[in-house]
Amino acid sequence: MPVKAKKRLGQHFLRDRSYLIRIAEAASLRPEDVVLEIGPGEGDLTELLLERAGRVIAVEIDPELVALLRSRFQGEDRLALIQGDVLKLDLTSLLSEHLSVGSKAKVVANIPYYITSPIIEKLIESRRVLGECVLTVQREVARRICAVPGSKEYGSLTVLVQYFADVELLFDIPPGAFRPRPKVTSSVVRISFRERPRVEVKDEGFFFRVVRAAFGQRRKMIKNALRSLGLADEAIRSAMERAGISLEERAESLTLEQLSRLADELFVSHA
Chain contacts with ligand SAM (rule: CB under 6 A): 9-14, 38-41, 44-45, 59-62, 65, 85-87, 110, 112, 115
Nearer to ligand SAM, 14 or 91 (CB): 14
Nearer to ligand SAM, 106 or 261 (CB): 106
Nearer to ligand SAM, 85 or 125 (CB): 85
Q: How far is the CB of 9 from ligand SAM (least distance, A)?
A: 4
Q: How far is the CB of 89 from ligand SAM (least distance, A)?
A: 8
Q: How far is the CB of 129 from ligand SAM (least distance, A)?
A: 18
Q: How far is the CB of 125 from ligand SAM (least distance, A)?
A: 15
HEC readout, 47-79: HHHHHHCCEEEEEECCHHHHHHHHHHCCCCCCE
Q: Which residue is nearest to ligand SAM (CB)?
A: 39
The contacts of residue 109 (CB under 8 Å, 6+ apart) are: 36, 37, 38, 39, 119, 133, 134, 135, 136
Nearer to ligand SAM, 13 or 154 (CB): 13
Nearer to ligand SAM, 44 or 203 (CB): 44
Q: How far is the CB of 170 from ligand SAM (least distance, A)?
A: 15
Alpha helix segments (H runs only) across 60-190 = 63-72, 91-96, 116-125, 139-145, 156-164
The contacts of residue 113 (CB under 8 Å, 6+ apart) are: 10, 12, 137, 138, 182, 184
Q: What angle do CA 47, 88, 193 make, to 5 degrees?
A: 65
Q: What angle do CA 47, 49, 50 make, to 5 degrees?
A: 65
